[in-house]
């Protein structure tokens, strides 16, 4: 106990909370920028006299459950057929390739200019497939769709005219959610993504900050890609990397939050974790790669600051892990500076570190669902808990990026689930890679359960309530993953990961 009574513990605790509060202030800044610029809907400065040729690029890897749905939706695009080229960029190692081949033949029979480009050497993974496909693209405009997306027929009609302005390099549409209410996890994921796509992307784009291509459901100008140096595969988020390089070259991007392109959310915890690990690690890799160039550039200081907050935001997961180790000592040995000092220090920290998150996601739900946003309020505590529970998975990704650790490139399994088709996804051979992370999460869950129970027994009810999301979050992420390890008697798992050696 003497070790814990050291003021050093309390100092570290306050510093970590201040760091988390800093990112909370950034969220509030995003909310402010969104509210300030939300009504500034972009409009095309001029229009094409005739629809230009568009190449639709469909990067695919082991997607047997969804590739037919993707091809059908592309065939239904409301755009002149003679002005469409469809590229299926297939790196699959299973029967997906034959499904793609059959689908391309169906498109050709209907008169589409469609081709299957199959690689057996997956160098660069998705970035490598896009780089390879772009060499054969006939169109100046490249509409990229991941396999789990189902574009609305009018998406090209609503977006293509923005490219009549020669300064526009990329158009991003807002993701929708095909299976938002499939289960609790998809519902919370949808709220996470809504905050990013509706608030962050809109606020950044319309306030003149950097904003990024989301990897899919967007259209690139081919000459913009070439001018920025092309697709590079030294990070796991090639979309973010290319976006910053292109904007540093002076290209303008447009985010159309009013144009929705629906997609399928991961329905199981392991798939969600693998997706978050890849996105988190990739963002830190991009941070290391482009942040020095941003600060050397001539963009305004406020733009540099916001880009820094954006690119470093996932360091908050490291802070959250540090906080996990500091909470218990602080509960027992925090210096007593008197009630006034306690509230002066803790109330602002609590507001910026916690309340800011709630305001952020409530604002996004109110913007997207003005008549039913209040129905999402009960899910906010679970959203906070899931964010805490994901801290171990994502902090591991941050550390791997910092120390240049080459980890497995894990695809996110998709099962063809939407609100109309309730596929029995548990029968699929596609599974996310198993790790020991759920065991660590389970141990954290038991530890924080002890901390919460002890606080309640001691009569510190405010602490017990505020700390309750910690055991809930860790138990949720761990038990959801560990349940998948139980023998099911079904087909053996198929390895769906490749080692990124780039």
311, 235 contact by CB (below 8 A)? no
- Whether 434 is covered by a domain: the verdict is no
Catalytic residue among 91, 146, 161, 500: 91
At residue 42, the pLDDT reads 93
Tell me the CB-side half-sphere exposure of residue 271, using CA atoms within 13 A: 17
For residue 299, give both structure tokens: 């963009």
Instruction: Please identify which of the residues 90, 146, 194, 239 carries the catalytic annotation.
Output: 239
The whole-number pLDDT of residue 383 equals 95
User: What burial class does residue 159 get, using C-beta atoms within 10 Å of its C-beta: 0-12 exposed, 13-18 middle, 19+ buried?
Assistant: buried
CA 168 to chain centroid, in Å, comes to 24
485 within domain boundaries? no
Looking at the structure of the chain, the number of domains it has is 1
Q: Are 398 and 318 in contact (CB under 8 A)?
A: yes
Q: For residue 375, how many other CB atoms are within 10 A of its CB?
A: 10
174 in Cβ contact with 254 (< 8 Å): no
Q: Would 469 be classed as within a structural domain? A: no
Contacts of 280 (CB under 8 A, 6+ apart): 314, 317, 394, 397, 398, 401
72 inside domain: yes
Beta bridge partners of 253: 170
CA angle 168, 171, 174 (to 5 degrees): 155
Structure confidence at residue 474 (pLDDT): 97
Domain extent, residue 360, equals 1-420
| Other beta carbons within 10 Å of 64 | 22
Write the CB contacts of 185 (distance below 8 Å, at least 6 apart in sequence).
Answer: 265, 266, 267, 268, 269, 272, 480
| 350 occurs within a structural domain | yes
Rounded to the nearest angstrom, the gap between the alpha carbon of residue 225 and the centroid of all alpha carbons in its chain is 22
Q: Please tell me the predicted confidence (pLDDT) of residue 493.
A: 39
At 133-165, the pLDDT tens digits run 999 999 999 999 999 999 999 999 999 999 999
C-alpha to C-alpha distances, 109 to 10, 292, 341, 468, nearest whole angstrom: 70, 51, 75, 59
* Measured distance CA(155)–CA(293) in Å, rounded: 34
CB within 8 A of 371, min separation 6: which ones? Answer: none
Kindly state whether residue 231 falls inside one of the protein's structural domains: yes
The 10s digit of each residue's pLDDT in 309-348 is: 999 999 999 999 999 998 888 777 666 666 655 566 666 6
**Which regions of the chain are under pLDDT 70?**
1-6, 333-349, 407-410, 418-434, 485-502
How many CA atoms within 13 Å lie on the side-chain side of 421? 11
What the block records as the tokens of 113 is 């200019």
Instruction: Give the pLDDT score at 462.
Output: 81
CATH of the domain at 351: 3.90.550.10
Residue 342 makes CB contacts below 8 A (sequence gap 6+) with none
pLDDT tens digits, 389-423: 999 999 999 999 999 987 655 677 787 886 555 55
Give CA–CA dist 146/175, Å, rounded. 12
Q: Where are the beta strands (DSSP E) in 96-157?
A: 113-118, 141-144
Does the active-site annotation cover 91?
Answer: yes
Residues 464/456, Cβ–Cβ less than 8 Å: yes
* CB contact at 8 A, 16 and 8: no
- pLDDT recorded at residue 7: 75
C-beta of residue 153 within 8 angstroms of C-beta of residue 77:
yes
Residue 234 designated active-site: no
């Amino acid at each position: 106990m003497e070790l814990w009574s050291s003021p050093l513990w309390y100092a570290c605790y306050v510093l970590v909370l201040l760091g988390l509060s800093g990112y909370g202030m950034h969220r509030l800044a995003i909310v402010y920028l969104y509210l300030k610029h939300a009504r500034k809907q972009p409009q095309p400065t001029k229009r094409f006299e005739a629809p230009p040729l568009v190449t639709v690029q469909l990067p695919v890897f082991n997607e047997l459950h969804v590739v037919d749905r993707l091809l059908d939706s592309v065939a239904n695009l409301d755009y002149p057929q003679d002005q469409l080229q469809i590229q299926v960029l297939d790196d699959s190692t299973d029967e997906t390739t034959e499904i793609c081949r059959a689908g391309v033949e169906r498109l050709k029979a209907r008169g589409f200019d469609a081709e299957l480009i199959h690689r057996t050497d997956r160098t660069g993974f998705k970035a490598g497939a896009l780089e390879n496909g772009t060499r054969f693209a006939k169109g100046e405009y490249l509409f990229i769709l991941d396999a789990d997306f189902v574009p609305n027929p009018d998406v090209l009609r609503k977006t293509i005219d923005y490219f009549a302005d020669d300064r526009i390099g990329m158009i991003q549409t807002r993701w929708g959610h095909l299976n938002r209410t499939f289960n609790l996890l998809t519902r919370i994921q949808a709220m996470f993504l809504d905050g990013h796509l509706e608030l962050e992307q809109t606020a950044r784009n319309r306030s003149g900050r950097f904003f990024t291509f989301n990897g899919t459901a967007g259209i690139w100008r081919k000459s913009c890609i070439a001018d920025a140096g092309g697709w590079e595969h030294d990070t796991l988020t090639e979309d973010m990397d290319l976006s910053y390089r292109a904007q540093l070259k002076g290209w303008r991007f447009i985010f159309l939050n009013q144009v929705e392109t629906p997609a399928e959310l991961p329905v199981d915890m392991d798939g969600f974790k693998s997706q978050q690990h890849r996105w988190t690690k990739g963002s830190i890799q991009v941070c290391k790669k482009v942040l020095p160039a941003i600060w050397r550039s001539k963009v305004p200081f406020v733009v540099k600051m916001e880009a820094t907050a954006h690119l470093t935001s996932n360091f908050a997961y490291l802070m959250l892990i540090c906080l996990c180790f500091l909470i218990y000592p602080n509960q027992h040995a925090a210096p007593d500076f008197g009630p006034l000092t306690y509230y002066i220090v803790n109330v602002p920290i609590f507001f910026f570190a916690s309340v800011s998150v709630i305001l952020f996601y409530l604002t996004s739900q109110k913007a997207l669902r003005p008549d039913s946003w209040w129905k999402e309020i009960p899910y906010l505590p679970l959203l906070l808990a899931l964010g805490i529970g994901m801290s171990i998975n994502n902090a591991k990704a941050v550390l791997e990026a910092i120390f240049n650790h080459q980890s497995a490139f894990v695809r996110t399994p998709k099962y063809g689930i939407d609100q109309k088709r309730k596929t029995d996804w548990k029968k699929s051979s596609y599974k996310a890679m198993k790790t020991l992370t759920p065991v660590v999460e389970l141990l954290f869950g038991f530890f924080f359960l002890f901390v919460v129970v002890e606080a309640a027994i001691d009569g510190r009810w405010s602490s017990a309530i505020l700390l309750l999301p910690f055991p809930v979050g860790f138990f949720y992420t761990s038990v959801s993953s560990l349940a998948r390890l139980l023998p099911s008697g079904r087909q053996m798992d198929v390895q769906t990961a490749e080692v990124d050696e780039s």
